[in-house]
Structure formats: C-alpha cells, structure tokens
C-alpha cells in the first residue's frame, strides 16, 4: 500500500473518514428508529390479536349460556382479528407498515393462520347452530372445541408477540452496537489525527531548529543545508529542497568570489613586483633619454594595469561583502 506523504491528502482523508462516519451513524440511527416506530405499531397489532381471541371466546360463552343471538361484537372481533392478521402478513401501505421479513415470524404467522381457520370454522358453526336452534349437545361440543382451540391460539399469538418484541429489541441493540462501534472508530481516527499532527509538527520543528542554527552560526562563509527525515511530507520536502537550492547557490557564489579575489590579489602583488623592478632599472638608465622614454611608457602601462587590477579586486571584495550582508540579513531574527 502506498504511503500517504502529503499534508493536504492526510487532512482530506481524515475529514472524509469523519464525514463518512457521522453520516453513516446518523443514517443508520434514523432508519432503525423509524423501523422501531413501525415495529411498535406491529407489536400493538399483535398484542391486540391476543385480546381479540379472548373477546371472541367471551362472546361465544355469553351467547351460549344466555341464549342471546346478538352477534355484533362477535363478528366485529372476528373481522378485526382477520384484518390484523392480514396486516401482519402483508403489511399496510396506508399506515406505512411493512411486513417483517423474518423466517421464524413468517412461520409463526402461518401456524396462527391454520389455527385461526379451524377456530373461525367453529365460530361460524356455533352461529349457525344458535340461529337454527339445533341440538344443544352439539352446541356444547362446539363450545368445548372453541375453548380448547382458543387456548392453543392464544399461546401461539403470545409467542408471536414475543417474537416481534425480540426483533424490535434486536434492532435497538444493533443501534447501540453501531453507536459503540462508531465511537471506537472515532477514537481511532482521533488518535490517528493526533499522530499525524504530531508528525507534521516535528517536521516543521526541523525548520525552526535550522533557522536557529543559522542564527547561531558566526561563520557566514559556508551555510549548511537543511536535513529532513525520510518520511517527511512532500510539501515539507519540497520547501526544504527549495531552501537547500538557495543555500547552495549562495555558497557557490561566495566560493567563486573568494577564488576570484585571491587570484586578483595574487596578480596585483606580481604587478607590484614588476613595478619595483622597473623602478630600479629606471634608476640605472637615467642618462639614456630614449631608453628612459620607452621605459616610462612601459611603466605607465604597468601602473595602469595595476590600478585596473586593484579596482577589480576592490569590486570583487565589495561583492563578497554584499553576499555576506545578504547571508547575515537572513540570519537576523525578526523583531
């Protein structure tokens, strides 16, 4: 895996991770909370199914033992139970209820449907017998069957309610797990950010130490290049290379000026020796006017050349001083 060595890339990576983490946690939490709200509606419907089975049985017992033929509450409870069972199985678009895709819940719903079909058949037969005033013993047999099937149906509805409750609790626990996991990842990103910031700070400190070294360096004839760590960020390496290039150019210019200054001083000293020799020769040839004239001309040429070399030496010396001033000005601390 390629190592990231750009400060901007590190900052973008950390920012992207934080944004992704926050958005993911918010989206997951909002989605699961909405699901829990819908699950609460489903649990309420499933719990009501349990109450309806009791209501149906209660009405049958009341009608059977009082010879009452008012089936309004019985029919209403039966219709409501069927409607609730269909909502649990297929959902309800108007109420925003989506069926829970769970194998155990789906299997339990099928079991309740089978039990309800047998139970509802007994209820319908009981109504027919009651309306036709048929054999009472047959009616007692159907009521006894309803009593037994009601207990089995009630137990299975209770089991279904428990399944829905556990499913909702699992989602709540999943939300907590996601939040804990996000918190752990957030701590890791925080530690990573601190490590990267510390690394960047240490690399920047190297520039500060280098500037202090320049300030404490009294010998301005030679500047040492800045040394960076191998794992330094690319921006810092680029700045370091630029500084080192500038330092190298200053050192090179100063070396050339020193060398030129030495050469000019050497040439000047040689010309001074020649001048002295000409002076001694002129002393010996004072009576020879022609020879003296030519020698004077030669002496003038030599003197003029010497003056030009002296001027060149002075200019080179001034150049060296200016370079030294430039170097020292860079070394002066800001007030």
What's the rounded Cα separation, in Å, for the pair 238 and 224?
A: 17
Contacts of 17 (CB under 8 A, 6+ apart): 189
Q: Which of 206, 224, 228, 200 is nearest to 214 (CA)?
A: 224
Q: Which of 224, 231, 230 is nearest to 209 (CA)?
A: 224
What's the rounded Cα separation, in Å, for the pair 48 and 65?
A: 26
The first and second tokens of residue 329, run together, are 């000005």
Is residue 138 within 8 Å of 189, Cβ to Cβ?
no
**What's CA 4's distance to the chain center, in Å?**
14
Is residue 143 within 8 Å of 64, Cβ to Cβ?
yes
Q: Which letter does DSSP use for residue 2 in this model?
A: P
pLDDT per residue, tens digit, the chain (335 aa), is: 455 566 677 777 777 877 887 888 788 778 777 777 778 888 899 999 989 999 999 999 888 888 777 889 999 999 999 999 999 988 888 877 888 878 899 999 999 999 999 999 999 988 888 877 656 667 788 888 888 999 999 999 999 999 999 988 888 888 788 778 888 888 887 887 788 777 777 766 776 776 666 666 655 556 666 666 555 556 566 666 676 676 677 667 667 666 666 766 666 676 677 666 666 665 665 555 555 555 566 556 666 666 666 766 676 676 666 666 655 655 554 44
* Burial class of 135 by CB neighbour count within 10 A (0 to 12, 13 to 18, 19+): exposed
The domain locations on the chain are 7-199, 234-331
Please report the pLDDT score of residue 333 as a whole number: 47
Is residue 248 within 8 Å of 265, Cβ to Cβ?
no
The first and second tokens of residue 66, run together, are 């009082």
* Burial class of 329 by CB neighbour count within 10 A (0 to 12, 13 to 18, 19+): exposed
Please report the pLDDT score of residue 34 as a whole number: 77
Domain 7-199, CATH? 1.20.120.1730
The first and second tokens of residue 45, run together, are 């419907």
Q: Provide the Cα torsion 226, 229, 231, 233; round to 10°.
A: -30
Please report the pLDDT score of residue 17 as a whole number: 79
CA angle 25, 28, 29 (to 5 degrees): 80
Q: Is 97 helix (H, G, I), strand (E, B) or coil?
A: strand
* Burial class of 8 by CB neighbour count within 10 A (0 to 12, 13 to 18, 19+): exposed
Is residue 115 within 8 Å of 152, Cβ to Cβ?
yes
The first and second tokens of residue 270, run together, are 């040689």
* Burial class of 74 by CB neighbour count within 10 A (0 to 12, 13 to 18, 19+): buried
What's the rounded Cα separation, in Å, for the pair 12 and 23?
A: 16
Cα distances (Å, whole numbers) of residue 122 to 59, 135, 138, 145, 155 = 13, 15, 11, 7, 18
User: 10 Å Cβ neighbour count for 69?
Assistant: 10
The first and second tokens of residue 216, run together, are 């404490």
Please report the pLDDT score of residue 335 as a whole number: 43
Q: For the stretch 282-299, what's the b/e string if a residue is b when 16 or more beta carbons lie within 10 angstroms of its beta carbon?
A: eeeeeeeeeeeeebeeeb
* Burial class of 36 by CB neighbour count within 10 A (0 to 12, 13 to 18, 19+): middle
Q: How far apart are the first and last CA of the chain?
A: 46
Please report the pLDDT score of residue 85 as a whole number: 92
Please report the pLDDT score of residue 79 as a whole number: 93
């Amino acid at each position: 895996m390629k190592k990231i060595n750009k400060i901007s890339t590190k900052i973008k990576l950390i920012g992207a991770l934080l944004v992704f983490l926050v958005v993911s946690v918010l989206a997951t939490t909002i989605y699961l909370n909405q699901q829990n709200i819908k699950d609460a509606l489903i649990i309420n419907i499933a719990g009501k199914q349990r109450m309806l089975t009791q209501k149906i049985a209660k009405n049958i017992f009341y009608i059977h033992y009082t010879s009452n033929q008012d089936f309004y509450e019985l029919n209403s409870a039966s219709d409501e139970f069927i409607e609730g069972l269909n909502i649990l199985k297929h959902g309800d678009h108007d109420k925003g209820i989506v069926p829970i895709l769970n194998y155990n819940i789906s299997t339990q719903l099928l079991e309740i449907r089978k039990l309800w079909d047998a139970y509802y058949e007994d209820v319908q037969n009981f109504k027919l017998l009651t309306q036709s005033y048929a054999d009472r013993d047959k009616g007692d047999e159907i009521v006894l069957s309803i009593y037994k099937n009601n207990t089995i149906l009630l137990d299975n509805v209770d089991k279904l309610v428990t399944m829905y409750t556990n499913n909702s609790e699992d989602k709540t626990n999943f939300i907590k797990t996601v939040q804990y996991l996000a918190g752990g990842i957030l701590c890791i990103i925080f530690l990573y950010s601190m490590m990267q910031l510390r690394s960047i700070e240490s690399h920047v400190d190297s520039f500060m130490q280098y500037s202090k070294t320049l300030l404490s360096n009294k010998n301005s004839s030679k500047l040492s290049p800045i040394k960076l760590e191998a794992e330094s960020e690319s921006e810092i390496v680029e700045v370091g290379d630029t500084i080192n290039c500038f330092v190298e150019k200053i050192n090179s210019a100063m070396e050339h000026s020193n060398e030129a200054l030495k050469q000019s001083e050497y040439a000047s000293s040689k010309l001074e020796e020649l001048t002295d020799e000409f002076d001694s020769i002129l002393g010996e040839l004072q009576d020879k006017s022609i020879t003296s004239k030519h020698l004077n001309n030669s002496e003038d040429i030599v003197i003029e050349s010497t003056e030009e070399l002296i001027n060149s030496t002075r200019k080179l010396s001034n150049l060296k001083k200016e370079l030294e001033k430039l170097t020292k000005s860079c070394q002066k601390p800001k007030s």
